[in-house]
Structure formats: C-alpha cells, structure tokens
Chain A
Amino acid sequence: MREAIARLKRHPAAPLAGTAIVALALLALPFALAAAGTTWVRVANLAFLFVLLSLGLNIVVGFAGLLDLGYIAFYAVGAYVYALLASPHFGIHWPFWAILPIGAAVAALFGILIGAPTLKLRGDYLAIVTLGFGEIVRIFLNNLSRPVNITNGPQGIARIDPFRLGGIDFSKSDSFLGLAFSGPIKYYYLLLLVLLAVIFVCLRLQNSRIGRAWEAIREDEVAARAMGIDTTRLKLLAFAMGASFGGVAGGMFSAIQGFVSPESFVLVESIMVVSMVVLGGMGNVWGVILGALLLSFLPEFLRFTVEPAQRQLFGRTLIEPEVIRMLIFGFALVLVMALRPGGLWPSAVRKRELAERDGAMAGKLR
C-alpha cells in the first residue's frame, strides 16, 4: 500500500492531479457545508477572511520580522471605508470594485502612518506601540460621531450594500445550472478568488529581491543596511503591503455582514490573528493558512459539540461553551508552542533558527 502511494507520488502527473483534487474539493465544499447548514458556509467565509488577515500580517511579522499587535486596525479601516462609501449613512453607494482598492490604499496609508514613527523600535517596544495604535483606531471609530457624525459611534453603520456585479446580487439566492447559489455561497467563491490572488502575491513576494531584503532585515538589520538595503523604505513597504491586505479583508467583511461597529475590532481580534500566524508557522504561507483555518474552525466546531456533549453526559449545561472554548483554545496554543515552537508548519528558515538555538543550548549544557 505504502509503496503504491509512493509510486503514485512519483508519477509525472501527480502534482497536476493533486492540484485538481484540491481545486474540486474547494469548489464543492460550500455545497457540502450548505447541506450541514448555511451557518457553516458563513463560518467558512469568516475563516477565509481570517486567512486573508493572517497572510497580510505574515508579511509584517513573518517576512520582515516586525511584531504588530494592532493589525486589526487595518481591517477596521478597510471595513469602515467600505461602510461609509456604500451605505445610506452618507447616502453614497459606490460599487465594491471601486471601493475595495480605495480601502486597500487607505489601509496602506495607515500602515505607513503607524510604520513611520516606529521604525527605530524593535521587538517588544514595537509591539507595545502597535498595540496602542490598534486601540486608538478603535476609540476614534467609537467617538467620531460628534461634532460631525462620521462613524456613527458605538451604534455602528448598518444596511451596508452587499456586493453587486452586473445583475448578480451577493445577498440574494440565484440558481444557476440547476444549483441554488445562496448569498454566502457566492461570497465563498469570491473570497476564494481573492484568497488565491493574495496567496499568489505572497509566494511571489517571498521569492524575490524584495522578499530577500525583508529576510535580511529580520535576520540582522545592521548587516542589511551595510549591504545597501534601505531598511526604512522596506519596512514601510512591509507595513503598507500587510495593511492593504487587511483593508481588502475589512471591505469584504463589511459587505458580508452588512453592518460594522467598533466592537468587531477589539484587541482580542488582533491577538487572534497573531496567534494564527504564530501557531501556523511564521513566514510560511501554507503554515499561516493552516493556522488561520484551524483557529477559525476549531472554536465553531467546539461551540457545536461542547454543549450537546454536556447535555448528554449531565443532562444540563454545566459550563458555558464559551468558557470551555477559551480553555481548550489556550491549552492547544500552549501545547503547540511547547512541542512545536516553530508552529505547526514552520518555514525552512525558522526551522533552522530553532535547530541552531537548541544546538547552542545543548552545547552550553555539555
């Protein structure tokens, strides 16, 4: 059996066949999920949004090595740009394909804005400042309702336009080729498309002159500068690129939910995205995707199993699912960090780094 699999793997058509299987699975997935309940399609969509966020943060944290704990601010910026330009709040209703690039650009601008004053900071200090920045953005959104009502404060902005393309409205069901395409399913395909584009961009960036320069900065900033790398420009570029992905994700979130409020962009969300990147494997695009999917689906899965399981065992709910969820979640994170410090699927570079550190420690012990 094992030999047969090995032989299959060696077949010249194996990569192509593998890709085809994954593609088919991804295309069929929303219908399988819809069969279990439309909620699960929504969960998948939210998971995709988090994958987008994690990939964006990975550029800042994983590629350039700059710890950003306020990343959710860029998601908020993208979400509010979309909400303001496509809702009755200002009576503006621009099409999504015009707003998403604007959202990405505004988020990138914010990325540069936070990047510029923090360029000299490293590690912990950078983390603290970015954390503060994330909170500032949220507090602004909360309070920019007076004297001029821009964000509508804590009430948030409602009745945001869904995506519309030609005659297709992403909030309504359509049938096509005899299949029922509900709103969430349509968003699923759109998100999948955006996601593929972002993955493509990430992989190409990583394997380029720019990606190498980021790696150099992460490894040794002084040496990078002495080799002629303009660290100021490249760090700002990392912040801007990462932020723009967050902005796109935010715009899509806004349209999917139809409602945004500052509550969606609290610190815990930033920490969640950082956890996804770290758990999956900083710097490795595939690892980060895995981390984001796991941490998005796991809590939902627990939500649907913990309560029924307790009912079965004890006849009533002893512990709220939310509490157990966080408990298991935290435990899983600690476990992974203890057993696989490079993440579930670490990048080759990170693997080397850890091996070297262990080697050095073993050397000291000897």
Chain B
Amino acid sequence: MSALLEARNVSKRFGGIEALSDVSFSISRGQIFGLIGPNGAGKTTLFNLLTGLAPPDRGSFALDGRALAGLKPDRVAARGIGRTFQNIRLFANLSALENVMIGRHVRTRAGVLGAVLRDPATRAEEAGIERRAADLLDYVGIRSRANEAAGSLPYGDQRRLEIARALATDPVLLALDEPAAGMNASETAALRGLLERIRGDGTTVFLIEHDMRLVMNVCDRVLVLDYGRRIAEGAPAEVQRDAKVVEAYLGTPDKDGPG
C-alpha cells in the first residue's frame, strides 16, 4: 500500500507550550486512520497544521508524495483534504443545501461573467452543483432537511452536514474532528455506518475521536498523542493494550493519585 499522507517530524509551539513535538506518521490509502489522545494532546493542532490554518514550526506534510508546505487553506482543500471542525463551523444562517453547494466552490469555475450572463456552461455547472449537493445530503441521510437553516438543525444533523460539506470538495483525505461529539448511541452507530461507507467509496478518513468504542470498531490504525508527543501507533487492539496509552488515559496511581 502506498502512503497517501506522510507527516515528518511535525512540531509546533504556542508560547512556552510544546503543542506538537516531532510527530511523524503515515496514512495509507483507503484506511480509516484514528487519532486519539487526552484533551490538550495536540490533535486539533495537528489538523490545523495539516489544513494550512497555521504553519508548523518544523517538519512537513506530503499528500500523495507532494509537499503541502506553505499552502494556504484553500489550496490545501484544492489539493484534496476536506475537513470538519470540533466546534461545528457551518454557515449557520444558510440552508443545509447551500452549505453543501459552497463546498463545491473549489471544484467549479464560474466567475463574474458567467454569473451575470448565465451562459449554458454556467447553467449546466449550477445545475450540477445543486444536484451533487442534494445527493450528498442524501448520502449522509439529511436530504429532508435541505431547506432548513444549518444553525437550526439538531446537533447530530449538523455534524452530518459538516461531513457532507467536506465531501463536496471531493477530498482524497477526509479529516474529521470529533464527529461523534454530542451524538447519542444510535446516532453514533449510524455515523459508524457512514464512515465505513465513505471508506468503501474510496475516500481515506483521518479521524479524531473521543468515543473509544467507535474508534476501536471503525479504525484500521490508530495514532495516540499525549502532550504533543506520539506515544503509540498500531492496530486498535494493539494500542488498547499499550501500557503508555493506558497510563496517558488513566494516569498512574503513584503519579496522579487515585482516580
């Protein structure tokens, strides 16, 4: 299997805090790759560096063998990384459909002239955008909510809508930041089905998640961060048994006291 994403020695400091230090890993095509770790371990920071929201201090990412260094977020999206946000960042006042349509921006071309003249090519493109957006809402299971304002949707549906919007950018790598947060058990089960379907349809998934059952069930490989350092990587079952992981999550009695 060829590596789709390579991270080499990625480091980032915020003031005196080492948010990430020397993190390296690689994600193979067609995997669901989990990223776990206690709060503040640097998971979201890693996503932000990957998607170009902030530059790493050292180290680099390469997608499909080509470096992502110095690219702005919109260029990263154009290269094929779609993402969602831990604290949902939908266009809250726009409809669900419009949200997904905006995701198509990066794969479409119409400019001012096309918008004003509405030539056949532009009209065809617009129809395609709308059709694709509706299909994606269907894909994540919220087609019936197409015309509702994104901000007024139930929490679980907002998470799904964010996934649909990210999928609209035709990503080769879909980076999901805690998609199950705030979901109940049945919603999480449905999410698991959706993630497996996305992988089945050929999109590699990079998943930050706190719901361990979901991670253990759905991921092919898991990377564990603690205080910005990589402490383990492997198949879910291996990682679960790793002493350092257990320590990071539960603490050791002599260090942190009971509980």
**Chain A residues proximal to chain B, CB less than 8 Å:** 200-201, 204-205, 207-213, 215-216, 219-220, 222-231, 237, 241, 349-350, 352-353, 356
Contact = CB atoms under 8 A, between A and B. Distances in A.
B149 A356 contact: yes
Interface string B66-107: 000000111001100011010001111110001001111111
Nearest to A353: B93
Contacts of B149: 352, 356
Contact of A237 (B85, B92, B112): B112
B126 A228 contact: no
Contacts of A349: 93-94
B115 A212 contact: no
A352 B90 CA distance: 14
A213 B102 contact: yes
Contacts of B107: 228
B257 interface: no
Interface string B122-134: 1001100100000
Contacts of A352: 93, 149, 151-152
Interface residues of B, number: 43
B58 interface: no
B221 interface: no
Given A209-B110, A215-B98, A222 B115 contact: no
Chain A contact residues: over half helix, strand or loop, or mixed?
helix
Nearest to B85: A223
A229 B78 CA distance: 9
Contacts of B110: 208-210
B115 A210 contact: yes
A225 B72 contact: yes
Given A219-B94, A352-B93, 14 more contacts: A209-B110, A209-B114, A211-B115, A213-B105, A216-B91, A219-B92, A219-B93, A220-B89, A224-B91, A225-B53, A227-B105, A227-B166, A227-B168, A230-B74
Given A226-B51, A356-B149, A209 B105 contact: yes
Given A225-B74, A228-B106, A212 B98 contact: yes
Contacts of A215: 91, 94, 98, 102
Nearest to A225: B73
A105 B228 CA distance: 51
Contacts of B91: 215-216, 219-220, 223-224
A216 B122 CA distance: 20
Nearest to A240: B112
B197 interface: no
B158 interface: no
B174 to A, nearest CB: 12
Nearest to B117: A204
B78 A228 contact: yes
Nearest to A212: B102
A210 B53 CA distance: 22
A207 B94 CA distance: 13
A153 B73 CA distance: 46
Contact of B169 (A205, A213, A228): A228
A227 B92 contact: no
Contacts of B101: 212
Contacts of B72: 225, 230
- Lowest 7 CB-CB distances: which A-B pairs, in order? A228-B106, A228-B77, A208-B115, A219-B91, A225-B73, A223-B89, A209-B110
A201 B77 CA distance: 29
B94 A209 contact: no
Nearest to A349: B93
Given A209-B108, A219-B93, A356-B152, A224 B53 contact: no
B28 to A, nearest CB: 24
Contacts of A212: 98, 101-102, 105
Contacts of A226: 51, 53, 73, 77, 83, 85, 89
B116 interface: yes
A237 B151 CA distance: 28
Given A208-B126, A216-B91, A219-B91, A228 B114 contact: no
A207 B98 CA distance: 11
Contacts of B120: none
Contacts of A225: 53, 72-74, 77
B111 interface: yes
